[in-house]
Amino acid sequence: MREEINELAKILRGSDNIVFFGGAGVSTESDIPDFRSSNGLWNEKLKINFTPEQLVSHTFFVKYPEEFFEFYKDKLIYPDAKPNDAHKALAKLEEMGKLKAVVTQNIDGLHQAAGSKVVYELHGSVLRNYCMDCGEFYDEKYILGSEGIPRCSKCGGRVKPDVVLYEEGLDNDIISKSVKAISEADTLIIGGTSLVVYPAAGLINYFKGTNLVLINKSTTSADRNADLIIHDSIGKVMREAMELL
Protein backbone atom coordinates (compact mmCIF):
# COMPACT_ATOMS: atom_id res chain seq x y z
CA MET A 1 0.00 0.00 0.00
CA ARG A 2 2.89 2.37 0.75
CA GLU A 3 4.06 2.02 -2.83
CA GLU A 4 0.64 3.09 -4.15
CA ILE A 5 0.51 6.06 -1.76
CA ASN A 6 3.95 7.17 -2.94
CA GLU A 7 2.81 6.87 -6.55
CA LEU A 8 -0.30 8.96 -5.81
CA ALA A 9 1.83 11.62 -4.14
CA LYS A 10 4.10 11.66 -7.19
CA ILE A 11 1.09 12.14 -9.48
CA LEU A 12 -0.25 14.96 -7.30
CA ARG A 13 3.13 16.71 -7.31
CA GLY A 14 3.35 16.53 -11.10
CA SER A 15 -0.22 17.65 -11.82
CA ASP A 16 -1.62 21.16 -11.99
CA ASN A 17 -5.09 20.42 -13.38
CA ILE A 18 -6.66 17.79 -11.15
CA VAL A 19 -10.37 16.99 -11.06
CA PHE A 20 -11.95 14.78 -8.41
CA PHE A 21 -15.06 12.73 -9.16
CA GLY A 22 -16.62 11.31 -6.02
CA GLY A 23 -19.58 9.37 -4.69
CA ALA A 24 -21.17 8.07 -1.51
CA GLY A 25 -17.95 6.46 -0.25
CA VAL A 26 -16.56 9.91 0.43
CA SER A 27 -19.49 10.78 2.71
CA THR A 28 -19.70 7.42 4.52
CA GLU A 29 -16.42 8.31 6.24
CA SER A 30 -18.28 11.26 7.77
CA ASP A 31 -20.84 8.78 9.14
CA ILE A 32 -23.38 9.46 6.41
CA PRO A 33 -24.65 6.03 5.33
CA ASP A 34 -25.28 5.14 1.72
CA PHE A 35 -29.09 5.03 1.74
CA ARG A 36 -29.06 2.16 -0.75
CA SER A 37 -27.80 -0.09 2.02
CA SER A 38 -31.24 0.03 3.66
CA ASN A 39 -33.06 -2.06 1.06
CA GLY A 40 -36.71 -3.06 1.20
CA LEU A 41 -37.93 -0.46 3.66
CA TRP A 42 -41.47 -1.12 4.85
CA ASN A 43 -43.85 1.80 5.05
CA GLU A 44 -46.38 0.88 7.74
CA LYS A 45 -48.80 3.64 6.85
CA LEU A 46 -49.05 2.72 3.17
CA LYS A 47 -48.69 -1.04 3.63
CA ILE A 48 -46.49 -1.18 0.59
CA ASN A 49 -42.88 -2.32 0.33
CA PHE A 50 -40.74 0.41 -1.25
CA THR A 51 -37.07 0.42 -2.15
CA PRO A 52 -35.00 3.46 -1.08
CA GLU A 53 -34.81 4.50 -4.75
CA GLN A 54 -38.60 4.58 -4.96
CA LEU A 55 -38.83 6.61 -1.76
CA VAL A 56 -36.72 9.38 -3.29
CA SER A 57 -38.39 9.34 -6.69
CA HIS A 58 -40.38 12.17 -8.23
CA THR A 59 -43.45 9.95 -8.33
CA PHE A 60 -43.27 9.25 -4.59
CA PHE A 61 -42.69 12.95 -3.83
CA VAL A 62 -45.86 13.85 -5.71
CA LYS A 63 -48.04 10.92 -4.61
CA TYR A 64 -46.97 10.49 -0.98
CA PRO A 65 -45.42 13.82 0.10
CA GLU A 66 -45.73 13.24 3.86
CA GLU A 67 -44.02 9.86 3.67
CA PHE A 68 -41.42 11.29 1.29
CA PHE A 69 -40.38 13.96 3.80
CA GLU A 70 -40.45 11.50 6.67
CA PHE A 71 -37.90 9.35 4.86
CA TYR A 72 -35.96 12.34 3.48
CA LYS A 73 -35.47 13.97 6.89
CA ASP A 74 -34.56 10.67 8.54
CA LYS A 75 -32.23 9.22 5.92
CA LEU A 76 -30.78 12.04 3.79
CA ILE A 77 -30.10 15.03 6.06
CA TYR A 78 -27.25 14.73 8.56
CA PRO A 79 -26.83 18.15 10.21
CA ASP A 80 -24.05 17.00 12.54
CA ALA A 81 -21.82 15.51 9.81
CA LYS A 82 -18.35 17.05 9.48
CA PRO A 83 -15.84 17.00 6.61
CA ASN A 84 -13.41 14.09 6.79
CA ASP A 85 -9.79 13.72 5.66
CA ALA A 86 -10.79 13.27 2.01
CA HIS A 87 -12.79 16.52 1.95
CA LYS A 88 -9.95 18.37 3.70
CA ALA A 89 -7.27 17.01 1.37
CA LEU A 90 -9.22 18.06 -1.72
CA ALA A 91 -9.80 21.54 -0.33
CA LYS A 92 -6.06 21.82 0.35
CA LEU A 93 -5.23 20.70 -3.21
CA GLU A 94 -7.53 23.42 -4.54
CA GLU A 95 -5.88 25.98 -2.26
CA MET A 96 -2.51 24.91 -3.68
CA GLY A 97 -3.81 25.58 -7.19
CA LYS A 98 -3.63 21.97 -8.26
CA LEU A 99 -7.25 20.85 -8.02
CA LYS A 100 -9.56 22.72 -10.41
CA ALA A 101 -12.93 21.14 -9.56
CA VAL A 102 -14.78 18.59 -7.49
CA VAL A 103 -17.57 16.76 -9.31
CA THR A 104 -19.72 15.01 -6.74
CA GLN A 105 -22.76 12.76 -6.66
CA ASN A 106 -23.23 13.59 -2.96
CA ILE A 107 -25.83 16.02 -1.67
CA ASP A 108 -24.46 16.85 1.79
CA GLY A 109 -22.42 20.01 1.12
CA LEU A 110 -19.37 18.68 2.98
CA HIS A 111 -16.91 19.59 0.22
CA GLN A 112 -17.87 23.25 0.61
CA ALA A 113 -17.80 22.92 4.40
CA ALA A 114 -14.18 21.76 4.10
CA GLY A 115 -13.31 24.83 2.04
CA SER A 116 -13.65 23.67 -1.57
CA LYS A 117 -14.84 26.51 -3.81
CA VAL A 118 -15.43 24.85 -7.20
CA VAL A 119 -17.90 22.04 -6.54
CA TYR A 120 -20.29 20.70 -9.15
CA GLU A 121 -23.13 18.91 -7.37
CA LEU A 122 -24.62 16.55 -9.94
CA HIS A 123 -27.51 15.53 -7.69
CA GLY A 124 -28.12 18.85 -5.93
CA SER A 125 -27.90 19.59 -2.21
CA VAL A 126 -30.00 19.04 0.90
CA LEU A 127 -28.83 22.47 2.06
CA ARG A 128 -30.99 24.19 -0.58
CA ASN A 129 -34.78 24.05 -0.72
CA TYR A 130 -37.25 26.13 -2.72
CA CYS A 131 -40.94 26.92 -2.72
CA MET A 132 -42.41 25.34 -5.84
CA ASP A 133 -44.81 28.27 -6.25
CA CYS A 134 -42.89 31.48 -5.48
CA GLY A 135 -39.28 30.28 -5.41
CA GLU A 136 -38.53 31.42 -1.85
CA PHE A 137 -35.34 29.82 -0.50
CA TYR A 138 -35.16 27.69 2.65
CA ASP A 139 -32.21 25.94 4.28
CA GLU A 140 -32.11 22.39 5.64
CA LYS A 141 -32.93 23.58 9.17
CA TYR A 142 -36.32 24.77 7.94
CA ILE A 143 -37.03 21.34 6.48
CA LEU A 144 -35.93 19.51 9.62
CA GLY A 145 -38.04 21.79 11.80
CA SER A 146 -41.18 21.45 9.73
CA GLU A 147 -44.08 19.15 10.54
CA GLY A 148 -45.34 16.93 7.75
CA ILE A 149 -45.02 18.61 4.35
CA PRO A 150 -42.83 21.75 4.51
CA ARG A 151 -44.79 24.80 3.40
CA CYS A 152 -43.61 28.22 2.28
CA SER A 153 -44.02 30.82 5.01
CA LYS A 154 -44.78 33.46 2.37
CA CYS A 155 -47.27 31.84 0.03
CA GLY A 156 -48.08 28.46 1.54
CA GLY A 157 -46.70 26.52 -1.44
CA ARG A 158 -44.95 23.19 -1.04
CA VAL A 159 -41.20 23.41 -0.46
CA LYS A 160 -39.05 21.02 -2.51
CA PRO A 161 -35.45 20.05 -1.81
CA ASP A 162 -32.98 21.13 -4.50
CA VAL A 163 -32.07 17.47 -4.93
CA VAL A 164 -32.33 15.53 -8.18
CA LEU A 165 -34.86 12.80 -7.45
CA TYR A 166 -35.09 9.56 -9.35
CA GLU A 167 -37.00 10.16 -12.63
CA GLU A 168 -35.72 13.76 -12.76
CA GLY A 169 -33.02 14.99 -15.13
CA LEU A 170 -29.65 16.40 -14.11
CA ASP A 171 -29.03 20.13 -14.41
CA ASN A 172 -27.63 20.84 -17.89
CA ASP A 173 -25.40 23.67 -16.69
CA ILE A 174 -23.81 21.47 -14.01
CA ILE A 175 -23.29 18.69 -16.57
CA SER A 176 -21.63 21.09 -19.03
CA LYS A 177 -19.27 22.48 -16.39
CA SER A 178 -18.43 18.99 -15.18
CA VAL A 179 -17.70 17.73 -18.69
CA LYS A 180 -15.49 20.74 -19.39
CA ALA A 181 -13.52 20.28 -16.17
CA ILE A 182 -13.03 16.55 -16.69
CA SER A 183 -12.11 16.87 -20.36
CA GLU A 184 -9.44 19.51 -19.57
CA ALA A 185 -7.91 17.71 -16.57
CA ASP A 186 -4.43 16.18 -16.65
CA THR A 187 -5.35 13.97 -13.68
CA LEU A 188 -8.76 12.55 -12.78
CA ILE A 189 -9.16 11.02 -9.34
CA ILE A 190 -12.26 8.86 -8.94
CA GLY A 191 -13.02 8.16 -5.31
CA GLY A 192 -15.69 6.53 -3.19
CA THR A 193 -17.98 5.52 -6.00
CA SER A 194 -18.92 2.19 -7.54
CA LEU A 195 -19.75 3.99 -10.81
CA VAL A 196 -23.17 2.40 -11.17
CA VAL A 197 -25.36 5.53 -11.05
CA TYR A 198 -25.94 6.93 -14.52
CA PRO A 199 -25.83 9.36 -16.22
CA ALA A 200 -23.42 10.77 -13.61
CA ALA A 201 -20.93 7.89 -13.86
CA GLY A 202 -20.72 8.31 -17.63
CA LEU A 203 -19.05 11.71 -17.24
CA ILE A 204 -15.67 10.10 -16.56
CA ASN A 205 -15.60 8.97 -20.20
CA TYR A 206 -14.75 12.57 -21.14
CA PHE A 207 -11.35 12.31 -19.46
CA LYS A 208 -8.50 12.44 -21.98
CA GLY A 209 -5.65 13.32 -19.62
CA THR A 210 -2.55 11.50 -18.40
CA ASN A 211 -3.38 10.02 -15.00
CA LEU A 212 -6.58 8.15 -14.13
CA VAL A 213 -6.53 7.33 -10.42
CA LEU A 214 -9.14 5.11 -8.78
CA ILE A 215 -9.54 5.06 -4.99
CA ASN A 216 -12.37 2.81 -3.84
CA LYS A 217 -12.82 -0.05 -1.41
CA SER A 218 -14.30 -2.30 -4.10
CA THR A 219 -13.61 -2.83 -7.80
CA THR A 220 -15.38 -0.69 -10.41
CA SER A 221 -16.03 -0.76 -14.13
CA ALA A 222 -13.22 1.78 -14.65
CA ASP A 223 -10.49 -0.27 -12.97
CA ARG A 224 -9.27 -1.71 -16.26
CA ASN A 225 -8.54 1.79 -17.59
CA ALA A 226 -6.90 3.20 -14.47
CA ASP A 227 -3.22 4.08 -14.21
CA LEU A 228 -3.32 3.69 -10.42
CA ILE A 229 -5.82 1.69 -8.34
CA ILE A 230 -5.96 1.84 -4.56
CA HIS A 231 -8.55 -0.29 -2.77
CA ASP A 232 -8.68 1.42 0.60
CA SER A 233 -10.32 4.22 2.59
CA ILE A 234 -10.45 7.40 0.50
CA GLY A 235 -9.82 9.58 3.58
CA LYS A 236 -6.80 7.58 4.72
CA VAL A 237 -5.31 7.45 1.22
CA MET A 238 -5.71 11.17 0.54
CA ARG A 239 -4.40 12.16 3.98
CA GLU A 240 -1.27 10.02 3.65
CA ALA A 241 -0.61 11.19 0.10
CA MET A 242 -0.93 14.84 1.13
CA GLU A 243 1.56 14.28 3.96
CA LEU A 244 4.14 13.33 1.31
CA LEU A 245 3.70 16.51 -0.74
Q: Return the active site residues.
A: 123
For residues 126 and 107, give the distance between their C-alpha atoms in angstroms, rounded to a whole number: 6
Walk across the sheet containing 18-22 and list its strands. 119-121, 99-104, 18-22, 187-191, 211-215, 228-230
Beta-strand (E) ranges in the chain? 18-22, 41-43, 48-50, 99-104, 119-121, 124-131, 137-138, 159-163, 187-191, 211-215, 228-230
